[in-house]
Structure 1
Amino acid sequence: MEKVQIETFTVYGLTLRTANSLEMNPETANIPKHVQLVDSNIEIDYLSDARAYSVYTNYESDVNGFYDLLMGSTEIASAKRKLQSIDVVAGEYLKFDAEGEFPDAIIRAWQTAWAYFSSQDCKHSRAYTTDFEYYQSTNQVSVFIALK
């Protein structure tokens, strides 16, 4: 985990409204279906060094409420559907890295973040503005959590 400064940037993609309580149950999880929708409708311009992002925003409350999840990239080669966009809020973020097979690495990164923010040793507060996942490769992910 490390604290980093992020400048504003825009991600274009497709949005889903969900909650962690739904995503923890395989029968009600929407994210796996949303990944398939994004993969079949958006072509990311990897040749221009673009990478995939998932941006979490419009939090209803906290980790227990509903939120919007936009999956996409800063550079889209083509899209079969109309895309939405979100500006990632500039500011301080905590970065949690994980490597390994997806989605296990992504889940591990989030579990590490949740454990940190729920621990008595936590020295930071979440802003619940924009959090995001950045996929460096097919087996490396970083989760960025916005700080107050």
Structure 2
Amino acid sequence: MKIDRLLAMTLLLLNRERVSAKELADRFEVSTKTIYRDMETLNQSGIPIVAYQGTSGGFEIMEQYTITRQYLTLNEISAVVAAVKGMNTALDDSNLDTLLEKVKALLHRVDRVDEPEIKMTGVSVRTTNAAEAGPNGRLPGLWEAYFNSNMASDTRIINPEFIYALYTDYESDANGEYTVVIGHEAGDTETEKSNNYNSAVIPASKYLVFTTKKGPVHEVVAQAWGEIWGYFQASSETRAFTGDFELYDARNFDPANAEVQIYIAIK
């Protein structure tokens, strides 16, 4: 039905930065002419969709146009996804596949990338999620140690404008101990030896990239991690626990209005 297609397209555009007419036509099994008519219908209904021409062209919703996805809480959305997955297994209903995709689109925008290995150096600490949830978490002190180190000014650091917070050496999974290393890419192993830094490796891997909303950095990062845990509870994809990292761009960094990318390694 056309209304179902329009709803699915709207959710897809909320979940993706730009989608081509051909991708939409293939996904919904209609012609590109139908896609253009659908976009006109959505525009007339008040959803501001912009069309871009060229090889990288496509459709996207205007950046200024925002709509919260959290009409339901994350746990409620995850519960709906789990229920629909169970129904789909029991009934083998193709309509439930469509519903599942629509509901999962509410969880978070996520990109998939292949990243090469990155050697880095920084300050580190061993901790757990349980410890960080309490009043004596060690990560605030680690960030303080990083900023006090003035590491970014070291001439042997590569791309000092990018700050990495690497989660590595997982004991098991999200419930076990892990090491956090905050620092920079470094090609000179003498850097850490001369400054008492710790070396680490961001593994080459397939990653899902979650982008936080803009806001106070500690709030948006914590919220994004909550959404990440919910995403994997509702997804068939599996975390690798080989190494995950947060990427901060220091060039335009505003702690009160930050946007951070979180890379999660997957199998």
Calculate the TM-score normalised by the size of structure 2.
Answer: 0.50
Structure 1 residue 74 displacement after superposition = 1.3
Could you tell me which amino acid in structure 2 is paired with residue 20 of structure 1?
N
Which of 103, 108, 119 is residue 223 of structure 2 equivalent to? 108
Which residue does 1:36 correspond to in 2? 144
Aligned residue for 1:13, secondary structure, equals strand
Write the distance in 2 (CA, Å) between the matches of 1:109 and 1:57. 18
More strand by share: 1
Write the distance in 1 (CA, Å) between the matches of 2:173 and 2:158. 37
Write the distance in 2 (CA, Å) between the matches of 1:47 and 1:84. 15
Write the distance in 2 (CA, Å) between the matches of 1:126 and 1:7. 17
Is contact 1:126–1:145 with CA below 8 Å preserved after alignment? yes
Which of 84, 89, 105 is residue 203 of structure 2 equivalent to? 89
| Largest Rg, 1 or 2 | 2
Is contact 2:112–2:206 with CA below 8 Å preserved after alignment? yes
Which residue does 1:16 correspond to in 2? 125
Which residue does 1:141 correspond to in 2? 260
- The 1:43/1:35 distance shift into structure 2, 3 A limit, reads same
Structure 1 residue 38 displacement after superposition = 1.2
Aligned residue for 1:109, secondary structure, equals helix
Write the distance in 2 (CA, Å) between the matches of 1:107 and 1:10. 26
Which residue does 1:125 correspond to in 2? 238
- The 1:144/1:23 distance shift into structure 2, 3 A limit, reads same
Structure 1 residue 84 displacement after superposition = 0.9
Write the distance in 2 (CA, Å) between the matches of 1:3 and 1:110. 17
More helix by share: 2
Identity of aligned residues (%): 28
Is contact 2:168–2:241 with CA below 8 Å preserved after alignment? yes
Q: Structure 1: which 4+ aligned runs deviate by more than 2 Å?
A: 45-50, 78-81
Is contact 1:109–1:142 with CA below 8 Å preserved after alignment? no
Aligned residue for 2:239, secondary structure, equals coil
Aligned residue for 1:17, secondary structure, equals strand
Alignment size in residue pairs: 144
What is the Cα-based RMSD across aligned positions, in Å? 2.2
Is contact 2:122–2:184 with CA below 8 Å preserved after alignment? yes
Structure 1 residue 42 displacement after superposition = 3.3
Write the distance in 2 (CA, Å) between the matches of 1:48 and 1:30. 26
Question: Higher relative CO (CA 8 A, sep ≥ 6), structure 1 or 2?
Answer: 1
Structure 1 unmatched ranges of 5 or more: none
Structure 1 residue 29 displacement after superposition = 0.7
